[in-house]
Structure 1
Amino acid sequence: MSATSEGQDRRSPVLSLAPGAVRGALRTADGVLIEAVYEPCTADFGRDSAAGRGTAIVVAHGFSGSVERPAVRRAAQVFLRRAAVVTFSFRGHGRSGGRSTVGDREVLDLAAVVEWARSFGHERVVTVGFSMGGSVVLRHAALHKERPGSRTDAVVAVSAPARWYYRGTAPMRRLHWIVTRPVGRLVGRYGFRTRIHSRDWDPVPLSPVESVPLIAPTPLLVVHGDRDAYFPLDHPRMLAAAGPAELWLEPGMGHAENAADEALLARIGDWLAAR
């Protein structure tokens, strides 16, 4: 693992980072290099420097996202007013290595990032994931609950699917075409800058809804918009019913980080900081 301190990424005019930011290159348990960025909390704690080290929020983006995407940066900037923030690019996305497995081995990416966040001395590390990232934070919370270095202290899943292979909406049928067809994967690579693995899942990973009962007693919040074009409301309701969870159904909201406005992000940040 390597890291360098940067307040501004000179390679990209888009990625403007908070003072004291640290860029890392993290190696996962299966050997994939993941790009990540740590940013200290921007709130003024006066002389109480320990207060700023209390919580770190790890942000897991949706399919075709990355550290540099505007919606990810907007979420990070809202969360930074409440806690330190770590953003990263899943495998196959951005400058990370490997190829996307669309929610399976991405759990290893998140585990490496959470462990890195803990290395900055935070008392609590919490996770928030959007869409594909929402499925990953749920599975990670279940599978790493007993691992002190990589576990999470609270979880928020936004616009997450409850079950695999869902094709009930037109956007999800298009996504399955991109993921499962050779021509679709070319579209993903060059149209969405996402490199997708060509192999099918074997074995099929634990689903998000199967993960939820394993997360307790870690606090869990499920957030979903009532205008989500990808996953209808039976998905969040299934997740919330599967185990102890708080459910927010957001009127007028669409899908994932692109649809999460500043007011909602602020409420999520407050919920995470208080748990």
Structure 2
Amino acid sequence: MSSVSEGRFRSSSVPLITPGPLRTALRTDDGIRIEAVYEPCTAGAGAAAGTSFDGTAIVVAHGFTGSVDRPAVRRAAGVFARRAAVVTFSFRGHGGSGGRSTVGDREVLDLAAAVEWARALGHRRVVTVGFSMGGSVVLRHGALYAGRATEKARGVVEREGRVGARAEAHADAVVAVSAPARWYYRGTAPMRRLHWMVTRPVGRLVGRYGFRTRIARDDWDPVPLPPVEAAGLIAPAPLLIVHGDRDPYFPLDHPRMLAEAAGDGAELWLERGMGHAENAADESLLTRIGDWAAAP
């Protein structure tokens, strides 16, 4: 991972003293340019002075068709920043980032670059929080970049070609919100519409011009590690699974499958009345997630 300066914001591999956001461009291991924003924690005197670089950082992974500047992502970042420093970024093919979306496959490299940046800024503890597609990405990232990988996890890393995955890109805890448990799910109308957008040429045009999301044409090869398998490989890092009981995309069997696969290593919150992902996460829920993430 390398950082590239952008505009009036500086990028650096050493701790900085800054009273406000730091915007930069990151380079992924496969060469994609990713826009990212760092926001210091707003709680306490140390954060007010812009010197809170050694504690927890929360890295936020948005859902499909989102971006670093979408209102729901900015709202989540603002709530999380009351508890910890926050890194937000746009996945490839989204917002101002380069490349094309692979809808959860190579996006794991984007997240790894953002986590590395947080650690390069001096944060000793990094927690990933992903919504929907971002939820599937934080699960896979948690398995593939495990700080203390099990033998089974190391085998998966080799299978996915992530043998060079660096320890500094690992997450110390993982939060998956509204995440799918399995790929190719078409059991709800919103997911059938999403598959049409991803797999059809006219759908990809709708994604590009209607949702500002550039989608790759190629099928997955190989098919990435399913989220339900990844959930079982994240331990000993803590895992929190959050899902709404009115999610129109993924019914409750998805979070339950994830929690069952993770076993004792996971905590499951089923939220009454909640819909899907960052757009449905209210301030109360975001505050509770922030509290969980910031707890040592």
> Which range, TM-score by smaller chain?
over 0.9
Alpha-carbon distance change, 46 to 126 in structure 1, aligned in 2, over 3 angstroms: closer
Aligned residue in 2 for 1:34:
34
Q: How far, CA to CA, are the matches of 1:92 and 1:19 in structure 2? A: 30
**1:52 deviation in Å?**
5.6
TM-score by length of 1: 0.93
**Are residues 137 and 46 of structure 1, via their aligned partners in 2, closer, same or farther at CA, if it must alter by over 3 Å?**
closer
Cα displacement (A) at 1:24: 1.1
Comparing 201-210 with 50-59, greater Cα deviation is found at 50-59
Amino acid at match of 1:161: P
Matched, 1:261 2:282: yes
The count of corresponding residues between Structure 1 and Structure 2 is 265
Amino acid paired to 1:38:
Y
CA distance in 2, matches of 1:21, 1:144: 27
- Deviations for 1:174-232, whole angstroms, at most 9, x for unmatched residues? 00000000000000000000000000001100010010111000000000000000000
Instruction: Mark the runs of 5 or more structure 2 residues left unpaired by the alignment.
Output: 10-17, 148-165
Percent identity of paired positions between Structure 1 and Structure 2: 77
Residue of structure 1 in register with 2:251 after alignment: 232
2:198 to 152, 161, 179: 179
Structure 1 residue identity aligned to 2:5: A
Correspondence for 1:121: 122
What's the CA shift for 1:4?
5.2
Q: Please report the TM-score for the alignment, with normalisation by the length of structure 2.
A: 0.86
Deviations 1:56-113 (A, max 9, x none): 0000000000011000000000000010000000000000000000000000000011
Q: C-alpha distance in 1, partners of 2:139/2:227? A: 6
Q: What is the deviation of 1:148?
A: 2.1
Q: Which residue of 1 aligns with 2:4?
A: 2
CA RMSD of superposed structures (Å): 1.7
The answer as to whether partners of 1:61 and 1:72 remain within 8 angstroms in 2 is yes
Which residue in the other structure is 2:15 paired with? none
Q: Decide whether the 8 Å contact of 2:40 with 2:50 is kept in 1.
A: no
Verify the 8 A CA contact 2:52 2:85 in the aligned structure 1: no
Q: CA offset at residue 3 of structure 1?
A: 3.3
Query: Which structure 2 residues correspond to residues 240-251 of structure 1 after superposition, within 5 A?
Result: 240-243=259-262, 244-251=265-272
Instruction: Tell me how far apart the structure 2 counterparts of residues 30 and 82 of structure 1 sit (CA, whole Å).
Output: 32
Equivalent residue, structure 2, for 1:139: 140
